[in-house]
Amino acid sequence: MRIDRAELRKGVAETRRYLLAHHPPSEFYRCYSLSIAGRRIRICARCIGIYPGIIVGLLAYFFVPPEYGSVLLVGLLPLPALIDWGLTTFSGRNGFNIVRTTTGMLLGCGYGFGLLLLFLEHNLSVLVVGIGYALLSGLLLSRAW
């Protein structure tokens, strides 16, 4: 199989703007906008909270007393992000990026903590939480179309 370099460059050029901000131009209000070296860079407000949140969640697994670290925590931490996403997606309100970042941080903490519960403790209840959120999100998305 031969790679067409021109086609690859074209594909990268068309998709690179989605690397840090996966929103279309009509939703750029959901991003932070920075100017670096004269170029406009947009970063998704929720994602900028998710990635550090994952690290915090991974670390919290080792430092949170076992009675506080449970599947319940993994189930509750993503809830504010889902609520904020639902409200801003279905109500026509724009919302606030600081709320997106904060709820993204909580979501990321749930991801990180849940991953270690799943892989280190083999707690399959984490999968049930994930499937529940996936089904709920899918249901909400189906209403949007």
pLDDT tens, 79-108?
A: 999 999 999 988 888 999 999 999 999 999
28 shares its domain with 55:
no
φ/ψ of residue 93, rounded to 5: -75, 150
Position 144 pLDDT exceeds 70: no
66 shares its domain with 33:
no
pLDDT in tens, 10-65: 888 777 777 778 888 888 999 999 998 988 889 999 999 999 999 999 999 999 88
Instruction: Give pTM, 2 decimals.
Output: 0.84
What pLDDT, on the 0 to 100 scale, is given for residue 134? 94
Residue 5: band (very low, low, confident or very high) from pLDDT cuts 50, 70, 90: confident
Position 75 pLDDT exceeds 90: yes
CB 41 within 8 A of CB 57: no
φ/ψ of residue 44, rounded to 5: -55, 125
Could you tell me if residue 3 is left (phi over 0), alpha (psi between -120 and 50 degrees) or otherwise beta? Answer: beta
Is residue 74 included in any domain, yes or no?
yes
What pLDDT, on the 0 to 100 scale, is given for residue 20? 75
What pLDDT, on the 0 to 100 scale, is given for residue 21? 82
Looking at the structure of the chain, the number of domains it has is 2
28 shares its domain with 81:
no
56 shares its domain with 33:
no
Contact residues for 54 (Cβ-Cβ < 8 A; gap 6+): 108, 109, 111, 112, 115
Task: Give the number of other Cβ atoms within 10 Å of residue 23's Cβ.
Answer: 17
Is residue 4 included in any domain, yes or no?
no
Most confident of 6-20, 113-127, 131-145: 113-127
Is residue 29 included in any domain, yes or no?
yes
50 shares its domain with 109:
yes
71 shares its domain with 136:
yes
